Structure 1
Amino acid sequence: MTEQEQLHQAIASLEEQRPILGDAVVDTTITALQEKLSQLDQPTQNHLATKTAQRKQVSILFANITGMATVADSLPDTNILNLMNLLWRRLDSAITNQDGMIDKHMGEAVMGLFGVPVAHEDDAERAIRAALQMRAALSDFISARTRTDDQLSQTELGHLRGLQIRIGINTGPVMLGRVGSSDEYTVIGDAVNVASRLEKTAPPGGILIAHDTYMLVHDRFNVEPLGLITIRGRSEPIQVYLVLGIKPRLFYASGRGVEGVETRMVGRDAELKMLQGMLQQAVKDRVGQILTISGDAGVGKSRLVHEFNNWVRALPYEVPVFKGRTYQQISQLPFSLIRDILATYFEIQDNDSPVVAEEKLVQGMAQFMGQQTDDVRLRANIIGQLIGLDLSTKVQSLGQTGEAPQLRAAAYEYLATLFEVIAEHNSAVLLFLEDLHWSDDASLDFIRYLAESCQKAPLLIIGVTRPQDGQQTGGGYRERPLPGTKIHLENLSKEESQQLVVEILQKLPEIPTDLSDLILLQAEGNPFYVEELIKVLIEDGVIIAGQEQWQLRRNQLTEVRVPPNITSVLQGRLDRLTNMERLTLQRASVVGRVFWDTAVFQMNLAADEPLTHNQTRTALQALEKREMIFRRQSSGFAGTNAYVFKHAILHQVTYESVLLRARPIYHKQVADWLAQQSGERISEYAGTIAEHYELAEEKSTAAELYEMAGQRSQDTFNLEMATIYFCRSLALLTDMSHYALWQLRLQED
C-alpha cells in the first residue's frame, strides 16, 4: 500500500485499539498521523501531476484471469458486470495493499506497477506478495460465490470454479510519463514487454518472474527454475522462475554474500569484541546493557550482528535470543516492532487465526513463566491486545477491566517481567532490533521502558539503524534515539576492501589488478556493494563461477553495471526527494561526480520549468543535509562552490535516471560552461570538455578538444593518455584527409 494508505490503516488500527491505548494516546497519535498524511499527499500528487518524464527501475506485474470469457457467455450482462466489478475490487486491493499502482485494466487483465510514483527498496518483493494475495483472493472469491450464490446453475458454478489467474512479474528500467491524447500516466520499455510475455507463458494459477526479479527476492521466496524462454525483440532468451511461496522469516538474509563462497567478516574485529565484552559483562555483573549500531545501507551492520549471534550460539551456556525487525510498510502501526519480536520467537504467522495466535503466545510465555495458568493466559491476552492480535474479548472474558492507560501499563509490566524471568533463569538474554529507523514511536517507548526495568537483569539489547536524513524514518527514533552505547560503522578501508575481494574471489587462480580496481573504485568500501558488483560480473558472464574453480573472461572486463539491489536502495532515496531537489541532483550528475553550483544554476535556469538561483541553492543545501552530496574545500574555479556525490554509485544511479533525450542538451550546457570557465587554461580541462561535447553529439568540437588533450598529455610525457585521447579524436573525425594525417602521427608516436 502507499504510505498514505499505511497512514489511513494506522489510524483505523488506532481506533480499534482505543479501548486499551486510551483516548489521550489515540487522539494525540492520530493528530500527528493526519498531519503527516497532509504533508505526504502533496509530494505524491506532484509526482503524478508533473509533466517531466522519468527513467527509473520499476517492478511490473501483469495478471490475466483465464476462463472469464466462458463465464461471461453463460451469465446475463448485468450479472457478469457485477461479478467482474466485485472480483477486480479484490484483486486491485491486493496490488494497492502492497503499495502498487494500477496502471490499466485490459478486459480480463490488469497491469500493476511497483515503485511508482515513489520507489521502495523492496518493490520486487511487494509485487510478488501482491501476486500471491491476488491468487488467494481469487480462490476465496470463487469459494464464497459457489457457497452463497443460489441463483447460479450447476453449469455456471462449474464455469466459475474454472477461473484461474496467470501472473508475470519483471523488474527493470522504464520510462515513466504521460502519453496520448488522454495524457495517461504510464510506463514504456523492454521491461514491460518481458512482464507481459511472462504472464502469457505462466501456467494457470502460476506466478512467473524473470531473472532480474529473482536476484532481488531469492532469499524471501521459494521458487522453481523453469529454464529459458524467448522474448520477441530480444536476441538472448531469459531465465524464468515459478514462485512457490514465501520462505520462513529470516533475521539475517541468506541472500547476502555470493553463492557458493564462504567469507570471513572483514574489518569489524574491534566492534565484534565490543559486543562480546558487553555480553560478558552482563553475564558477570547481572546487569542490563543497551547498544545501538548505526551505519549506511550495506556497510555491514547485519553481518556484524550475525557473526556475534554465531559466537553466542557457540558459548558453553545458553543465551535465549529474541529478534525483531521493523518494516517500512508498517512503520506507522503502534507496537509493530514488539509484535515482530514475539511473532518471530513464538512462531506466530501473519495468517494465523486469533485463536491460534493466542495459543502460541500463551504456550510460549508459559514455558518461561511456569505452567499454563489463568494468570499467564491473562498476561498473554493483554500483551496480545497491545500488539494488535485482537484479543479484547478474551481480556474481558478473563475478568480484566479498566481504563486504557491501566491496561497499557499492565501490558508493559507483563512484558518486562517476561524478559526479567527469562534473564533470571539463564546466563543472559539477547534482544536484537533491526531497522530501527523505520520503528514506530510506541515500540521505541516500550524498549526504553524495558531497558529501564531490566537494569539489574542480564539483558543485552542491540539495535541496528541507519543514519537519519529526514527521509526514511517513522519519526520516533530520529527524535528520541535509544539510550546507551553507540557504534557507528564506517566504510571499509581500501586494504580491508581488497581483503574482502580476495575472500570472495578465492576460487579465481589469480585476481588481476584491473578486476580488483574496478570493484574497489565502484564499491568505495561498502561490503554489500562489493558483493553485489561481483554478483553482477558473474551474472554477465565476465566471471564464470565453477564448482571448484572460477574463470575470468578478461577481454569482457570493461565496466560493471549497477546491481538492481543497489539501484533499489538508492532509487528509494531519490524518489523521496522533492521535485526541486531531484531535478537539481539529476542535472548535477550530468556535470560529474564532482560538480559546481554555478553550472547547475545555469542548467536549472535554462530548463523548461526553470528554477531560480535561490531555489537551486535551497535544493543543494537540502541535499547536503541529507548527506547525498558534500561541499569540497576547494573549487578550482573562482566564484563557484564545488560539490561531490557521496558515493560513485549514487552518482551513477542518479545519472541513469536522467532521460536519454535530455542528456545531450545537458552535456552541451556543461561543456559550454566548462569552456567558458577554463578560459586560457582550456587545455587543462580539454579531455573533460571533449567528453561532454561527445555526449552532446557535437563530434567535430569534441574531436578538436580530444586532440588538444592528447597534445597536452604528450607535452607532459603521459604518452598512454595521449594515445587514448588521439584515438578518441580519430574515432570522431569525418574529414578523411585529417584522419589520415592523425593515423600517420599516431604511428610516429
Structure 2
Amino acid sequence: MASACPGCHTRTAPGARFCSSCGHALPAAPAPVPAVGTGREQVASRRTVTVLFCDMTGSTALSEWLDPEALRHVMLRYFTRMRACVEDHGGTVEKFIGDAVMAVFGVPLTHEDDPLRAVRAALDMRDSLDDLNAELRRELGTAVAVRIGVETGEVVATVVPGADQALVSGETVNVAARLEQHAPPGQILVGAVTRALVGPAVEAEPVAALSVKGKSRPVHAWRVVRAVERPATMLRGTDSALVDRTAELDALLALHRRTGRDRAGRLVTLLGDPGVGKSRLARAYGREAVRQGALVAGTDCPPYGSPGPYAPLAALLEGLAPGLPDDGGSFRDRVAALLGPVRSSRATPQGNSGQDVGGREAAGAAAALLDRLRRGEAPGTGTEEVHLALLGLLTALGRDRTVVAVLDDIHYAAPALLDAVAHLATGLTGARVLLVCLARPELLDHAPEWSEPAPTATVLPVPPLPKADCQDLVVRLRSLAGGTADDLVLHLAQGSCGSAAVPDAITARIAERAEGNPLFVEQMVAMEREGGDLESVPLSLRGLVAARLDRLPPEERELLGCASVVGREFPLDQLRVVRAGEQAAPPGEDGRTAPEELLAALVSRRIVEPLAASGGTHPGGAPETPETLPEPGGHRFASPLIQEVVYAGLSRRLRAERHERLAAWLLADGVTASPGTPPSPPPPPDHTTAGGHLERAFWHRRGLGLLDPVARRTGAAAVAHLTAAGAAALARGEVGWAMDLLRRARAVDDVCPAGGDRDGATVPGPGGGAAAAVRLRLRTALAEAHLATGHTERALTAFHAVHEEAVRTGDQATAARVRLQLAYLEPGAPGFGTALDAARESLAPLTEAGDDLGLARARLRIGQAHQSEGRHARAVTDFTAALHHAARADAELERAGTVGAFGVSLWLGPEPVPAALRRCEELLATDLDGRRMARAALLCPMAVLLATRRRFEEAREQLVLASRTLHDFGHAFAAPAVTVFAATVECLDGRRDSAEAMLRGARTDLARLGDTPLLATATRDLVRVLLEQGRAAEARDLLAPAEGDLMAVAELHALHGRLLALTGDGAAATAHLRRALDAARTTESPLCLADVELDLAHALADLADPDGPPPPAARAHATAAHRRYRAKGHLVGAARARLLRGSSAGRTGPEPAP
C-alpha cells in the first residue's frame, strides 16, 4: 500500500524501503489494526470506513463476442488499473466480484480524510478508463464504462493475515452497493454521510432520492462533479473567528482580580470544541493564579460509570485540602475546625449554642458529608445539603485568599452536580471564589440556561488559535523532545511569540489543516515524527484520534482497548484484570509486555497520563507535593475523546466479555492482594459499578441480536445488581438516582426477564435466589420510587400487582411490606385492614426473613398508631426499635421518618418543652451528626416546640432549612408535610391568614399524593383556623365526623363543639366538648387536654353574654388549661388561656401579644 516519506512527504510505492525522491529510509509498515488480544489471534474491530463499489458496464456484451482469453486479458488490465487507483489513495481492495470492484478506505489504517480519498479514487477510476478505452478501441474496436457508489459508516472489519485484503461487513456496504447499482454509466453517486464529510472539497449535485432494495426509506444521494484542488480547508468550523489566546487569559485574570476585590464568588465557563485548548488555557491561568497566592484545585466529570452524581467532587475536595487548618487532624476534623467559626458567626442573637441551628454541630455534619464525598462515597443526603456543605467550605476557604475551583468536562456532569455548581454561583457572597468550568457546546443541548446572562456567571468562548500562533506552536512542538505543550501554550497566550519567519512547507501544512486546534497540532506533529502521512490530516477530531491510534504498536492498542472498558480513569489492577482475563499475573508470564512498560510508552506519546494521588489531575499547576505526586498504577486517557474512539473500535462481543470479566472481579472482592500479604476482608460489593458493567455487556450482546443463555445470565445479573443499587439509593433518600438505576434495571428486564421464562432459575447477583424473587424486588423498589416521586396512582397499581404476585409465590416478607404501604395509602380498603393491623401482622414474616427495612417500617407504623392514640411512652419504645432496624438497613428515609415521629411525641407528649428542646439538640449533636435528612425531619417538630416558647424566627429558620433539605431529596411527600408544620408555627404566632394559605396548599398536594392521614390532620388544622376567625359556614363544609384515632376524636369533638357554640346550639356544643374532654383525659398528652380545656372555655364564653365577663365555668376551664400549658412549658398556650380567664371576649377575640 502506498505511504508517504517522513522526510519530504512524497508518495512512495508499496513495499519500498527507501524514498525514490530524497533517499530517506521509510518506516516499516505498522501491524494490521485487528491484531488484538495477545497478538496470536485475529479479532474483528468496529471501524468507521468509506466503502466504494465500482462496476463495469457493457462487460456482458463483450463476453458474447470476445474470446475468453482476450476477455480475461481485458479484465486483468481493468482490474490492475482499478486497484492502482484505490491504492494510490490509501484504500484497500476487499474483493473482485465478476467485473465489480469493492474497496474500503479506513482499513487497515484510518485516515481522517478517508471519505475524500475514496471520492478522489472514484474520480481517478473513472478517468483512468480513458487510456484503457483508447487501447481497447485500437486493439478491439470497443470501449467500457464504470459506475461507482460511495458511502461512509460503521462496519466490522478484519484484515486477513498475510493477505492484502480486508473483510468488512455492515449496512454501509449494502448502501454503497445500491448507490453503485443506481448510478448511470460514467457517474459517481455518494451517500449522505460521505457528502457531509467531504464538504467543500468535492463539488456534487443532489439527485432524486433513491428507492433501493432492502431499505425502508429513500436513500439520498449526490452526483460527484469534481474534486476541488487543494481547498483552503476541509475542516468544519472554518466560519468561526480566530482570536488570540491573550484575550481569554486576560479575561480570566480580570475575573480573578475582580473576585478578590469584590469578595464575591463568580462562575466562568470556558466553552469550546474538543481539543481547542480549554484545559490548557485553564492550566495556564491556574499557574498564574497559584503564583499570585491562590488556592487552585480541579477535577473532571467522566462520561459514564460514575458511582454517583457527586463522585467528581472527590478530587476537587482533595485538592482543596491544603487550604484547611493544618492541625494534624483528619480531613473531617480540619473541615469542621474551619467551618465552626464561620457558622457560629451566623448564630442567633441569643448566643445560646444550644439554639444555634447553624452552629458547630452543623459544621460537624457538613464536615462529615464533605469527607464522604472526598472518599468518593454517596453523600447520604439531599442535594441541598451538598450545596450548603460545599458553599460553607468554599466560603470559609475564600475568606483570606482567592480560591479557584476548576471543573473539566462539565458537559458530562449529572444534573445534580450542575445544580450544585449553579447554586454555588449564586450563593458565594463574601468569599473570593472563582469557579472555572470547562465544557463543550453539547452542554447547552441539555442545559440551555447555562448560556443565559447572569450577574455572577460568565461564558467565555474559546475559539481556535490564530494562524500565526498555530504555526509557532507547530514549530516549537516539532523541535520539542520529551516535553509537553503546556508551557508553549502559556507562552502563546501571553503574546510573547509570533515569529515572523516564513514557516517551512510541513509546518504550514500542519498549521493549515489543524485550524488552530492545539490538540490537532500536538497529535499531528507526533504522527509526523512517527512517519505518518500528512495527507491524512483530520477532518474531525475523532478521525484524528483514530488515525493516531491505528499507528500504535499492537500491544499498546490492545492495552488501550482494555483500559477503555474500565473508563476514562483506569486503576492498574482493573486494567490487568480486563487484559489478562484472570487475576493479574506477574509481568511477562503470559508472554506479553508488562502493562507498566506499555503505559510508560503511552504516557510519552501523550495518549494517557498518570493520575495524581488524589485521583485526578491538577489543572492549577501547583508545585508538586506528596499530595500531587503521580500515583503508581493510576492513569487516565489524556482526552475523553480518545477513550470514546478506542472503545467504539472494539467489537460488541469483545466489549461484552470485558465488561463481564471486570464485573465478576469487582463482585468477587475488587482487591488483588500482594504476594505474601494476608487477604483483607472484602469490601461491600459495588452494585452500581458492577451493575453498570453488566448492563453495558448485556446491551452489547443484545445489539448482536443475541438472547442466548450467556446474554440471559448477564442481563439477569445486571437487573439484580442495578436493583440492589437502586434500592440502596432509595433507602438513602436519593430518589432521583434510585429512579435512574431502577428504570435501567427495568429496561433490561423488559427485554430479558430475569431467568428468562423460568421463574425458578437462579440469578447471579445480590441475594441470589430465584428469578421471580429478583423481579419482585425490582417491581417493589420501582413502586416505592414512584410513590416517593409523587406518582401515587402508578405506585398503587404497582403495589397491588406486587402484592398479588408475592402472595401467589409465597413471598410473605414482600407481601407484608407492600401491605404496610397499601394499608397506609388506602385506609379502610377491603383486604388490608388498618395500618396498625398490617404492621403487627407483618412482624413475624419480616423477622423470619431478617428484613430490617421492613421491620423499621412496621415498628414506625406501630409507634405512629400508639402516638395517634396518645400513648406516647409506648410510641417511643416502638420508635426506638424502628431506629435500630433502620440503622441496620442503612435506611435513611426510615430513620428520618422515625426521628420526625419521635419529635412529634416530644411536642405532644408529657415531656416539658424545655426538656424536649434539649433532647432535640442532643440528638442533632450526637446521633444525627452527618445525617442531614433525619436532622431535617427532626427540625420540623422542633420548630413547633420553639414556637411554643415564642422563638418564632428560629422556628422559621429551621423550617426553611428542613424544607430545602427534604424537598431537594426529591421526595414528593416532604413539601406538604413541612408546610403543615409551618402552618402550626404561623398559628402560634397569630398569623392566621398565612396559616390558612399554607394549609389550603398543603391539602391540595396531599389529596393529589393520596396521603390520607396527613390530609386529615391538615384539614382539622384548617377548620380550627377558620373557627378562630368566626367563619363557621366554611368550617362546617370541611369538618369530618368525630371518629377515628383517639387524638383525632378528641380534637374533632372539640371542633364540633366550637362550631355549634358559634351557631348558638349550646346543648349540642357542650355534649361534644364533654366527649372531647373525656377522650383527651385518656391520652398521655397534656397538650391535647389543655387544648380541649381551652376550646371548652371558648365555647362557654361564646355562648354567654358577649358584653359581659366569661362565666365562671369558662374561667375554670381556662384556668385548668393555663395550668396544663404552664406545666408543659407552652408559653403561647398559657398566655392565651390567661387572656381568656380575664377577658370578656371569646376565642374569636383578639390574640395576646406573644
Shorter chain as denominator, the TM-score bin is 0.5 to 0.7
Displacement of 1:127 in angstroms is: 0.8
Mapping of residues 511-526 of structure 1, within 5 Å: none
1:201 and 2:182 aligned: yes
2:781 counterpart residue number: 742
Deviations 1:593-632 (A, max 9, x none): 111222221222229x995574333222222221111111
* Cα distance in 2, alignment partners of residues 468 and 603 from structure 1: 27
Matched to 1:646, the amino acid is A
- Partner of 2:158, secondary structure, is strand
1:257 and 2:234 aligned: no
Matched to 2:528, the amino acid is T
1:40 and 2:15 aligned: no
Whose strand proportion is higher, 1 or 2?
1
1:662 and 2:663 aligned: no
Deviations 1:433-463 (A, max 9, x none): 6763988xxxxxxxxxxxxxxxxxxxxxxx9
Displacement of 1:298 in angstroms is: 5.6
Deviations 1:618-660 (A, max 9, x none): 2222222211111111377999722211222221121111111
2:715 counterpart residue number: 699
1:345 counterpart residue number: none
2:193 counterpart residue number: 212
Distance verdict in 2 for CA 1:468–1:431, change over 3 Å: same
Displacement of 1:115 in angstroms is: 1.2
Question: How many pairs are equivalent?
Answer: 478
1:598 and 2:599 aligned: no
Deviations 1:502-537 (A, max 9, x none): xxxxxxxxxxxxxxxxxxxxxxxxxx99xxxxxxxx
Distance verdict in 2 for CA 1:43–1:730, change over 3 Å: closer
Matched to 1:617, the amino acid is E
- Partner of 1:229, secondary structure, is coil
- Partner of 1:40, secondary structure, is coil
Conservation of the 8 A alpha-carbon contact between 2:54 and 2:100: yes
Deviations 1:206-264 (A, max 9, x none): 111111111110220100011422344443333211110012423344x5228xxx644
* Cα distance in 2, alignment partners of residues 738 and 144 from structure 1: 78
1:436 counterpart residue number: 507
Matched to 1:745, the amino acid is E
Picking from 605, 608, 620, the partner of 1:629 is 608
Conservation of the 8 A alpha-carbon contact between 2:659 and 2:693: yes
* Cα distance in 2, alignment partners of residues 714 and 464 from structure 1: 42
2:595 counterpart residue number: 616
Matched to 2:599, the amino acid is L
Conservation of the 8 A alpha-carbon contact between 1:437 and 1:474: no
Conservation of the 8 A alpha-carbon contact between 2:274 and 2:541: no
Matched to 2:744, the amino acid is R
- Partner of 2:156, secondary structure, is strand
* Cα distance in 2, alignment partners of residues 580 and 12 from structure 1: 24
Relative to the length of structure 2, the TM-score reads: 0.37
Mapping of residues 421-500 of structure 1, within 5 Å: 431=502, 436=507, 466-467=521-522, 472-473=527-528
- Partner of 2:217, secondary structure, is coil
Matched to 2:174, the amino acid is N
Picking from 627, 642, 648, the partner of 1:650 is 642
1:575 counterpart residue number: 550
Conservation of the 8 A alpha-carbon contact between 1:65 and 1:165: yes
Displacement of 1:703 in angstroms is: 2.9
1:689 and 2:666 aligned: no
Deviations 1:133-190 (A, max 9, x none): 11110022112443x43xx3xxxx2xx23x211001111111112699x997411111
Displacement of 1:203 in angstroms is: 1.2
Moved more, 465-474 or 653-662: 465-474
Distance verdict in 2 for CA 1:474–1:129, change over 3 Å: farther
* Cα distance in 2, alignment partners of residues 465 and 305 from structure 1: 14
Mapping of residues 253-652 of structure 1, within 5 Å: 253=234, 255-257=235-237, 263-265=240-242, 268-270=245-247, 304-305=465-466, 431=502, 436=507, 466-467=521-522, 472-473=527-528, 565-606=540-581, 614-634=593-613, 641-652=633-644
1:535 counterpart residue number: none
Matched to 1:619, the amino acid is L
Displacement of 1:202 in angstroms is: 0.9
2:92 counterpart residue number: 101
Displacement of 1:267 in angstroms is: 6.7
1:376 counterpart residue number: none
Distance verdict in 2 for CA 1:623–1:475, change over 3 Å: closer
Matched to 1:473, the amino acid is E
Matched to 1:142, the amino acid is N
Ranges in structure 1 where 5+ consecutive residues have no aligned partner: 18-25, 274-294, 310-321, 327-427, 440-462, 479-527, 530-563
Deviations 1:396-441 (A, max 9, x none): xxxxxxxxxxxxxxxxxxxxxxxxxxxxxxxx998466763988xx
* Cα distance in 2, alignment partners of residues 237 and 228 from structure 1: 6
Larger radius of gyration: 2
Distance verdict in 2 for CA 1:53–1:11, change over 3 Å: closer
* Cα distance in 1, alignment partners of residues 83 and 463 from structure 2: 35
* Cα distance in 1, alignment partners of residues 19 and 593 from structure 2: 42
1:225 and 2:206 aligned: yes
1:720 and 2:775 aligned: no
* Cα distance in 2, alignment partners of residues 187 and 699 from structure 1: 29
Matched to 2:120, the amino acid is R
* Cα distance in 2, alignment partners of residues 296 and 467 from structure 1: 13
2:1002 counterpart residue number: none
- Partner of 1:643, secondary structure, is strand
Distance verdict in 2 for CA 1:661–1:94, change over 3 Å: same
Matched to 2:113, the amino acid is D
* Cα distance in 2, alignment partners of residues 429 and 641 from structure 1: 44
1:3 counterpart residue number: 3
Conservation of the 8 A alpha-carbon contact between 2:243 and 2:466: no
Conservation of the 8 A alpha-carbon contact between 2:275 and 2:519: no
- Partner of 1:627, secondary structure, is coil
Distance verdict in 2 for CA 1:681–1:10, change over 3 Å: closer
Conservation of the 8 A alpha-carbon contact between 1:469 and 1:626: no
* Cα distance in 1, alignment partners of residues 465 and 159 from structure 2: 46
Matched to 2:128, the amino acid is A
Conservation of the 8 A alpha-carbon contact between 1:604 and 1:616: no
Distance verdict in 2 for CA 1:464–1:656, change over 3 Å: closer
* Cα distance in 2, alignment partners of residues 127 and 731 from structure 1: 41
Picking from 49, 58, 61, the partner of 1:67 is 58
Relative to the length of structure 1, the TM-score reads: 0.56
Displacement of 1:57 in angstroms is: 1.0
* Cα distance in 1, alignment partners of residues 114 and 589 from structure 2: 32
Distance verdict in 2 for CA 1:430–1:619, change over 3 Å: closer
* Cα distance in 2, alignment partners of residues 731 and 10 from structure 1: 52
1:142 counterpart residue number: 133
- Partner of 1:230, secondary structure, is coil
Distance verdict in 2 for CA 1:465–1:665, change over 3 Å: closer
Conservation of the 8 A alpha-carbon contact between 1:272 and 1:308: no
Matched to 1:249, the amino acid is R
* Cα distance in 2, alignment partners of residues 270 and 639 from structure 1: 35
Distance verdict in 2 for CA 1:185–1:217, change over 3 Å: closer
